[in-house]
Chains A and B, each alone.
Chain A
Amino acid sequence: MAAFVRRFGVVGEHFVKNLIKTNAVKKAVRQQSTPAAAEVALNVPETKVTTLANGLRVASEDSALPTCTVGLWIDAGSRYENERNNGTAHFLEHMAFKGTKKRSQLDLELEIENMGAHLNAYTSREQTVYYAKAFSKDLPRAVEILADIIQNSTLGEAEIERERGVILREMQEVETNLQEVVFDYLHATAYQDTALGRTILGPAENIKTINRADLLEYITTHYKGPRIVLAAAGGVCHNELIDLAKFHFGKLPARYKGEAPALPSCRFTGSEIRVSDNKMPLAHIVIAVEAVGWSHPDTIPLMVANTLIGNWDRSFGSAVVRYPLTPYHPTVRSGLENADLGADFKSSSLALPAPQNLSSKLAQVACQGSLCHSFQSFNTCYTDTGLWGLYAVCEPGTVSQMMHFTQQEWMSLCTSVTESEVARAKNLLKTNMLLHLDGSTPICEDIGRQMLCYGRRIPLHELEARIDVRVCPSLTHTHTHTHTHTQLIISLRV
């Protein structure tokens, strides 16, 4: 493949000069009164949270379904790795299903399959997740299995050797997915020479050398009570879950002997990577600016801005935009629900009716000018930083035009977005965030992630209230500032 890689330093000075000329914000915004009611009824069950003596948090929402999802959300991912052991978190996740002191791999697989349950895991840059879906009556067994696989994994040498091959093959699979590839480039350049810049899978040479000691060290360093959340949703009784957690996780260490590992700081560098390959029919581009971390109050306005730019694919037709269902968050899954198996029964497949609202201007421009095949606005958050931007797939000839209009639209968020457009985007964002919470797995996922990111579950009405707050000025400020800071990355394949 005649591909070559170039790395550019900071670019975009010219771009910024143009931006500063057009920064007049014209809109007056009226203050919205805060809701007066002292109480509000929510037609959803409460999320109950309990902290055990060793710091492990148990959080659950009981909706009395006959099925449930229960899982472990662990504050550990590839960000805690260094150049040498990059890939360990993901390797470990693979090893979890390979047998424990109590169960061989076959025992584990048979037990899960015979229960009609599902066991899954995934690793992202900051989190590692193991979860099970099962009948509610099997909750105790599911928790016991989860406890077993993260505490008593054998990590046999033979299995480790076998898993290397599997992971290397998984790496090939990931490389066929250009969206994954281009987002990895984005991280590599935006967070160059820091932990967030590395991939989740790790480089091939690490995968070939990671050994049992590395895995054990990772567990002993990171799998500590305070960094783990046991979350559950569906038919789950909170008190029962607490008892199960005490019984199975009570022995997890609460604190560190020495110092707790600090979150490695990850500085953002404006830069770009271009990988040119004339054989490829389409260019895959990601352009992003630095945004804010999970719990920063600006996350919400940025999500609104994200919704304003929207999502589009040329098969949607004119100016009809589907916005992202969830903020793009890179993960490597070792488990996906195999929906194919279920394609048969009467309750087949009307997945969430795909949202296709919001006339995004960028979609109109892209559609009229045939500028791209698809684009997708994203907001990826980490603890203390984030990436806000756009992923587009274009014909090589329209790349520069597409980038021009993208930046123009970003600027118009600061200068000419109208109150009614923002109101629409806010409504859509609410819909998007709330509609998604359907079924025990998305709810459990939401609980686990929020417990790690925010230390609590944000009640729905508060989330709505936060979106409702007048947003325009903050929105524009955030954007103009990120722009003036010349934080621009392009990852491009032509």
Chain B
Amino acid sequence: MRFCCRFGIAACRQYSSSGGGYPNVSLSTALPGIPKPIFASVDGHEKYETKITTLENGLRVASQNKFGQFCTVGILVNSGSRHETKYPSGIAHFLEKLAFSSTSQYGSKDEILLSLEKHGGICDCQTSRDTTMYAVSAEVKGLDTVVSLLADAVLQPRLLDEELEMTRMTVRFELEDLNMRPDPEPLLTEMIHAAAYWGNTVGLPRFCPVESVEKIDRKLLHSYLRSYYCPERMVLAGVGVEHERLLECARKHLLNVKPVWGMSTPGQVDCSMAQYTGGIVKMEKDMSDVSLGPTPIPELTHIMIGLETCSFLEDDFIPFAVLNMMMGGGGSFSAGGPGKGMFTRLYLNVLNRHHWMYNATSYHHSYEDSGLLCIHASADPRQVREMVEIITREFIQMVELERAKTQLKSMLMMNLESRPVIFEDVGRQVLATGKRKLPHELCQLIMTSRDSLHTSTSRRPSPAKTVACHACTASSGRRALLTAPRTHPQHDFHWNWCNTCEQARKLWSGLRLVVFRMVISELRIFAC
């Protein structure tokens, strides 16, 4: 070993070239003595399909095989912020942050990570409004460890006091960052859900409100977990694994296991259906100084306008997905070559014609019992009214159908190249429907959605509209955060409007016209 002599000036440019066992072979040439690889071949490769089995305790196991030495395996639970009706909001958010902390087998998060690292694995937990996903990507040969770890992380978390305390801090930081971000999209999504489904199901806050942070403790979490974390509400999904092996691991680690919170009480589950209320949520905020750097970001008012669509279980889901694709849009100065949707209506009719608009993007959120199609737009505060008029007008015509369908198909297939996306797709579909529609079946549905698009849009009742506004005051340069309390939807306004809609519901365009008028009148009030 030659360490001490290597600090002279003369040696300093040599780096490790003579540093012992490390091969001084340029990366451009193969290492000597490296074994000859035998590559997988595409020929005779059977088309992989999704296999689903239900275990005796009700847990569903779904898998899909794929090329590669890595797999993505995870447990999806039918639990999210929409299930927090009887609890303080924020439990799902807490569980997301607490995931993969200490469990009965593992003393700390670090131990979990260490054992995962041995199989080149990483783990993550993500919560949405209706689903919580615990996922691990690791080498296929570590499957048994991975499933055992997942079972432990989901069913046997210790939820120690210090972990809870740390989570409280993390949640607070996240809330702080959320408000400081120049990109308002997560906040707007939160607001439009609150407005559309006031105080119920998917309208409940996805991010833990500050006032709940202190309220959430182990007892409360256990009570929640007892109701929602039962095998019937779970799917174990794997991509890049053989079904039989996954099944074997599931039997070993997820059958006849008693969770740390004792027997589940499925009777406590909140089964309420999403009630679309419609409404307006506004937040006043100084956006004159959101830029973290010296170059100022123009001060903008962000709005999101949405309409109720349908659940992903309904036949109309695909037509609405196509509609969303047709609306498309994006930032007025978003980078990107052709293919990003430059011929979507929000680009052609909005951004290309009105250069003062900074953004117009369409989103479609879909759940098991309802859905929301919304458009996000940004412009200077003085042009809010004009912006809203333009956006509402865009909810009207429909052209470019073929392109939208092709793009929807390509988006679907391109997303499904990646293992974690396939995992989520398999998991969510099986969780919601007990089976999986394969990509080519969905493509078939997309191609045949021509007529249904017209009929479905015209027969949608959609008796209300939603506006979420994220406004700013052109005030001092000081970062002053003025968060106005959420106003309850104005009921008189709302009911009048519903009656109008009742008459207009036969025609989609008729409805839109009403929406348009109402939004304008509302925005007039707002703009004052």
Contact = CB atoms under 8 A, between A and B. Distances in A.
B409 A294 contact: no
A439 interface: yes
Given A120-B339, A320-B109, A485-B12, A65 B417 contact: yes
Interface stretch (A75-83, A152-160, A224-232, A338-346): A338-346
A345 B97 CA distance: 25
Nearest to A323: B122
- B contact face: mostly helix, strand, loop, or mixed: mixed
Interface stretch (B153-161, B325-333, B465-473): B325-333
Interface string B157-184: 0000000001101100110010000000
Interface string A395-430: 000000000000000000000000000001001101
Interface in A451-475: 453-456, 458-462, 465-466, 469-471, 473-475
Interface string A143-185: 0000000000000000000000000011011011110010000
Contacts of B17: 297
Interface in B339-359: 339-344
A345 B36 contact: no
Most chain A beta carbons < 10 A, residue from B3, B22, B69, B429: B22
B25 interface: yes
Given A64-B45, A65-B417, A353-B136, A112 B3 contact: no
Interface string B28-57: 101101111111111001000000000000
Interface residues of A, number: 140
A232 to B, nearest CB: 13
Interface in A435-455: 435, 437-441, 453-455
Contacts of B7: 20, 23, 480-481, 484
B105 interface: no
Contacts of B444: none
Interface string B389-426: 00000000000001100111111111111111111110
Interface stretch (A32-40, A214-222, A250-258): A32-40
A372 B181 CA distance: 17
Contacts of A314: 173
Interface stretch (A4-12, A42-50, A187-195, A196-204): A42-50
A453 B325 CA distance: 38
A276 to B, nearest CB: 11
A478 B15 contact: yes
B77 to A, nearest CB: 14
Contacts of A20: 7
Contacts of B364: 343-344
Contact of A481 (B13, B38, B292, B407): B13
A44 B68 contact: yes
B146 to A, nearest CB: 12
A489 interface: no
B485 interface: no
Contacts of B418: 352, 438-439
Given A116-B410, A345-B415, A338 B19 contact: no
B118 interface: yes
A319 B407 CA distance: 42
B21 interface: yes
The 9 closest A-B pairs by CB, nearest first: A118-B339, A353-B124, A116-B410, A474-B16, A344-B364, A46-B39, A112-B338, A439-B417, A116-B406
7 contacts: A39-B37, A45-B42, A338-B334, A353-B124, A353-B137, A459-B37, A477-B16
